[in-house]
Amino acid sequence: NAGVTQTPKFRVLKTGQSMTLLCAQDMNHEYMYWYRQDPGMGLRLIHYSVGEGTTAKGEVPDGYNVSRLKKQNFLLGLESAAPSQTSVYFCASTRSSRSGNTIYFGEGSWLTVV
Amino acid sequence: GNSVTQMEGPVTLSEEAFLTINCTYTATGYPSLFWYVQYPGEGLQLLLKATKADDKGSNKGFEATYRKETTSFHLEKGSVQVSDSAVYFCALSGEGGSEKLVFGKGTKLTVNP
């Protein structure tokens, strides 16, 4: 039972480099999300998707792009990494828009930008 | 917009002590309310939830009651264990779609033997 899987788990980038975080879920969920977690800030929504081929901006989308080409995958891209993007990134998914549905989280990806 | 305010930590308790972590929310309509727990080095796990007023969510000895009159969803446990040491997040999702979760800032709990 894999659930939500994120890769890579750890990464160190230099300022200006690009990278992609991959999120995969095997629960046939429609909705997927990318959050970032920073000390004292809780989790903040970066981008989300309500289905294959759709994406939307969350609370803190600047500096990130996303794609949902396949239902099971949700990619988060950093085109030109900045030290302010040092954070822990969490992917999450849920079945539908019915209020109260459980949202499942991946184990996190620790990103450091130097 | 929707928001969640939860008691800031850190909270340090002795084993078998009573735990309360306060959470209040601002939202239109009837949101669903959640408590998530994050153990060191891990992702978030759903601890409990409530989807309508006066519902009580419970799991692993933890409880929280959805109080619409006070817009609160306080987390309680009668007797904490060392294994309960973690960060606890209160969250809500608004009614009517997209299921975007809005989180509080988290409360770190440390339980000493």
Residues 6+ apart with CB under 8 A from B69: none
- State which residue of chain B sits closest to A49, comparing Cα positions: B98
- Beta-carbon separation of B51 and A97 below 8 A: no
pLDDT of residue B28: 81
User: Closest Cα partner for B90 from B47, B56, B54?
Assistant: B47
**Rounded to whole angstroms, how far apart are CA atoms B60 and B53?**
22
pLDDT of residue B30: 82
Beta bridge partners, A96, equal none
Q: How far apart are the first and last CA of chain B?
A: 41
Whether the pLDDT of residue B96 is over 60: the answer is: no
CA distance A55 to chain B (A): 11
**DSSP readout, chain A?**
---EEEE-SEEEE-TT--EEEEEEESS--SEEEEEEEETTTEEEEEEEESSTT--EE-SS-TT-EEE-SSTTEEEEEESS--GGG-EEEEEEEES-S-TTPPPEE---EEEEE-
**B100 contacts on A by Cβ (under 8 Å):** 33, 45, 48, 58
**What does the block give as tokens for A95?**
């079945």
What confidence tier does A62 reach under pLDDT thresholds 50, 70, 90? very high
Note whether B89 contacts A: Cβ–Cβ < 8 A: yes
Per-residue pLDDT averaged across B81-107, rounded? 85
Per-residue pLDDT averaged across B84-113, rounded? 86
**What is the per-residue pLDDT across B17-60, written as a single tens digit (0 to 9) for each?**
999 999 999 988 788 899 999 998 888 999 999 988 999 999 99
- State which residue of chain B sits closest to A47, comparing Cα positions: B100
**In this prediction, what percent of chain A has a pLDDT beyond 70?**
95
**A36 contacts on B by Cβ (under 8 Å):** none
- Beta-carbon separation of B95 and A106 below 8 A: no
What confidence tier does B95 reach under pLDDT thresholds 50, 70, 90? low
Q: Give the residue, A8 or B102, on which the prediction is more confident.
A: A8
